[in-house]
Amino acid sequence: MPLSDSTDGEQDDSGRPGFNIRSLNPYLFIFPAVLVMAGGLVYPVIDAFYLSFFDWKIGMPFDTAPFVGLSHFKRMIMDADVWESIWVTIRFGFWTILIEMVLGISLALLLEKPIRGASVFRTIFILPLMVSPVVVGLIWRYLFDARIGWINYYIGKIGIEPQVWLGDAELAFFAIVFTDIWQWTPFIFIIVIAGLQALPREVLEASKIDGANWWQHILLVKLPMIKSIILIALLMRLIDVFRALEVMYILTGGGPGRATELLSLHIYNRAFDTQQLGYASAISVLLILLVFGLSFAILVFTDPLKEKSDI
Amino acid sequence: MADYSERRFARILGHYLALIALAVLALAPIWIMVATSFKNDVIVQSKEPLWFFFVPTLDNYAYIMTRGKFDTYLWNSVIVGTASTFLTLALGGFCAYALARAEFRGRRFIANSTLLIRMVPPAVLAVPAFALVVVFNIDNDLAVLIFFYTALNLPFAIWLLFGFYKQIPVELEEAAIIDGATPLQVFFRIMLPLMKSGYAVAGIFTFRIAWNEFILALLLTGRNTRTLPVGAAGFITDTGVEWGRIMAMGTLIVIPPLLFTFFAARQIIAGMVAGAVKG
């Protein structure tokens, strides 16, 4: 809404008169935040590229680290351990996201109707998301413990032999998937419910009057209307799969062998366990490219400057 | 009609039963941690899981609070959490205000790249951060951690606050300027009071991440600057696996985030939903 002419001296040319651009430079407002993000996020990313050209190890002054050009990247392509952790990451992402999506969306569709006390339940459901990843790792490490873990006790009750959950490759993988599902299914559930409850009532009523049955109503009306929310939630979970390392660091440390070593954890272990800082940086470059590629996909679907959301 | 109301009753009952079952699943692991933290080692080591009925003890809490450096870790966590939250809200708030209200060259670039760098994996930060520590010998300074947590939290805080600023009608600022207020007065006197809930949501998310973060804290802290999560993880290696004590430490770490959840669940959910809608 344009200002009246009495204040035209104060108005900027942009049609956004709230920000008094003549007397305050917007760059002064954004500069401090941009400076901190440049130093704390952009510089490390650039530094990871730079370090990947040097064979730097822990305990060695950086000046003495030999320049090795692209040889870390050549080595990476042939490195079975890197490929294995990429494969673990893909399998982990596939199973966790598939199960979380199916569970979260179905539960949301079933329990969407507003009901007295729903907000109390929603408060409880977000608790797993609020717990520190370290604590999540510690809790489940205790529950999956082979000797005194509660899970072995309860599967014993139904006649299953106790298992060494975190000492067996397949079982440890199951354990990290299970833990992730416990923590993140509520996220999908909450998001999808919010999307469903924001749908315009008239459209839903119309579909009912037109005689759509329950399945048609869900598959042809409701789900298509919230598909952008589902898509973005899916992309965000996918990016998280490439970022996650704290829960696994505590729960399994990536083991046994490399059975639960997601790519992020692999980089960490390379850098600080086998102490190859330069080589770990080269693998970080791969990780950055993967994550930025996925983030770019989100940018295609959303506009960060848009004022109102789609729902 | 009786048939109809019976079916309605059955449906509502089923709805509640499903919600209760899900709530139990969400809560059980957290409750097991709290319960275990009040058990002595004999009960912990016995294989029978005891949910509620055992003789509680405060020994685990007494142990972690008197041995080791619990008070130092707690103090470090509080300092790092509050300082990085304050900085994030201050710097992020200014930046969001400019993005929401001013038109300038680079506005779209800043908005898009903020969204991209929000996704930088912590593992990628690890080696360069470690390099800084080695080169400048700064592993005993909380400022390093505060700086990195502020950087990590700024992108999310900026666009969350951007959304809140956008909801405030521009007319309010126009009226204040007509009344002779300076731009800074407009920001501090008009905008900030209206932004209370926006800053509260952004503050909760920021504090929670700073309070819970582990990997960077592990790398960037020395003996006197460790935070609580690093201290908790240390219990696994330092003393073997003393589950009662570990769970006591875990319970104490979880208290602030749980309190936030109980008092501001609606705002937290709003923040999460906004995150999923906007990336």
Helices (H) and strands (E) in chain B, counts: 14, 0
List of chain A residues whose C-beta atoms are within 8 Å of the C-beta of residue B36: 142
Task: Say if CB B168 and CB B194 are below 8 A apart.
Answer: yes
- A63, A103, A127: which to substitute to probe chain B, counting the most B Cβ within 10 Å? A127
In this prediction the pTM is 0.86
The per-residue pLDDT of chain A, averaged, comes to 84
Residues 228-287 of A with CB under 8 A from B: 228-229, 232-233, 235-236, 239, 242-243, 245-246, 249-250, 263-265, 267-268, 271-272, 277, 280-281, 284, 287
Mutation test of the interface with chain A: which of B24, B85, B124, B212, choosing the one with the most A Cβ atoms within 10 A?
A: B124
Compute the distance between CA of residue B142 and CA of residue B159 in angstroms, rounded to an integer. Answer: 27
Show residues of chain A in contact with B262, CB under 8 Å: 123
pLDDT of A93 reads 94
Are A49 and B160 a contacting pair, CB within 8 Å? no
Q: What is the residue extent of each domain of chain A?
A: 53-310
| Out of B44, B127, B262, closest to residue A271 by CB | B127
Q: Which of the residues A3, A13, A20 would you substitute to probe the B interface, choosing the one with the greatest number of B C-beta atoms within 10 Å?
A: A20
A79 close to A266: Cβ distance less than 8 angstroms: no
Q: What's the CATH superfamily of A53-310?
A: MetI-like (1.10.3720.10)
Identify the three-state secondary structure at position B86: helix
Q: Express each pLDDT in A43-62 by its tens digit.
A: 999 999 999 998 888 878 87
Residue A134 and residue B26: Cβ atoms within 8 Å? no
CA distances from A76 to A1, A56, A80, A283, B126 (A): 57, 16, 8, 7, 19
Q: How far is CA B45 from CA A55, B120, B273, in A?
A: 47, 41, 42
Best residue of B87, B97, B119 to probe chain A, by most A CBs closer than 10 Å: B119
Q: Is A148 on the interface with B (CB under 8 A)?
A: yes
ipTM: 0.88
Q: How confident is the model at residue A264 (pLDDT cuts 50, 70, 90)?
A: very high
- Which residues lie across from B238 on neighbouring strands? B240
| Cβ A17 vs Cβ B89: under 8 Å | no
Question: Rounded CA gap, A125 and A190, in Å?
Answer: 8
pLDDT 10s digits, B9-46: 888 888 899 999 999 999 999 999 999 999 888 788 88
Rounded to the nearest angstrom, the gap between the alpha carbon of residue A191 and the centroid of all alpha carbons in its chain is: 14
Cβ-based contacts of B182 with chain A (< 8 Å): 23
The answer to whether residues B115 and B154 touch, using CB atoms and an 8 Å cutoff, is: no
Q: What is the pLDDT of residue A33?
A: 94
Q: Return the residue matching tokens 């952004």.
A: B202
* Cα–Cα dist B165/B162, whole Å: 5
Q: Cα B174–B177–B178 angle (5° rounding)?
A: 85
C-alpha distance from B60 to closest chain A C-alpha (Å):
16
Mean pLDDT of A260-270: 93
Considering only the beta carbons, identify the residue of A37, A128, A246 that sits closest to B215. Answer: A246
User: What residues does A54 pair with on adjacent strands?
Assistant: A67
Per-residue pLDDT, A29: 87
Cβ-contact B138, A56 below 8 angstroms: no
Q: How many angstroms separate the CA atoms of A37 and A40, rounded?
A: 5
3-class DSSP assignment, residue B237 = helix
d(CA A3, CA B177): 11
CB contact under 8 A, A299 and B166: no
| CB proximity under 8 Å: B 55-84 to A | none
| Chain B interface includes A102 (CB < 8 A) | no
Q: Say yes or no: B146 contacts chain A, CB-CB below 8 A.
A: no
Neighbours of A188 (CB within 10 A): 25
- pLDDT tens-digit profile of A124-175? 998 999 999 999 999 999 999 888 889 998 998 898 888 888 989 999 999 9
DSSP A162: P
pLDDT category, B103, cuts 50, 70, 90? confident
Spatial contact of A311 and A226, defined as CB atoms under 8 Å apart:
yes
Report the pLDDT averaged over residues A228-255: 88
Q: What local confidence, expressed as pLDDT, does residue A304 receive?
A: 66
Position A6 pLDDT exceeds 50: no
Contact B21, A107 (CB under 8 A): no
- Which single residue is written with the structure tokens 């919600």? B19
What are the residues facing A276 on neighbouring strands? Answer: A57
The chain B residue lying nearest A295, using CA atoms, is: B116
Structure tokens, A45:
């990313």
> Beta partners for B100?
none
